[in-house]
Amino acid sequence: MKKMILSILMVSIILIVLPKCKGSFDVQPRELYLSMDGKFINGNTSEILKVINTGDSEINISWYLDDPSPDLIRQNRTTIPDLSWIDLKPKLQLIPQHNSFDFFVYLNIPEDKNYMDKNWEVWITFKEEESGFIKFEHAVRFYIDTPRNIIENNNFRTFSTVVFIIIISIFCLIIVYFYKRKKQSRY
> Using 50, 70 and 90 to split pLDDT, how confident is the model at 12?
low
Strands 137-145 and 31-35: parallel
Cβ–Cβ contacts within 10 Å for residue 61, how many? 22
Whole-angstrom Cα distance, residue 131 to residue 110? 37
Burial per residue of 148-165, b for 16 or more beta-carbon CB atoms within 10 angstroms, e otherwise:
eeeeeeeeeeeeeeeeee
Whole-angstrom Cα distance, residue 46 to residue 104? 7
pLDDT digits (tens, 9 = 90+) for 22-43: 458 888 889 889 888 878 888 8
Q: What integer pLDDT is reported at residue 137 of this predicted model? A: 84
Cβ–Cβ contacts within 10 Å for residue 39, how many? 14
Domain ranges of the chain: 20-145
Whole-angstrom Cα distance, residue 146 to residue 26? 29
> Looking at the domain covering 20-145, what would its CATH class be?
mainly beta
The model's pTM: 0.65
pLDDT at 133 over 60: yes
pLDDT digits (tens, 9 = 90+) for 69-100: 888 888 899 889 999 999 998 887 888 888 89
pLDDT digits (tens, 9 = 90+) for 170-186: 988 888 888 877 777 66
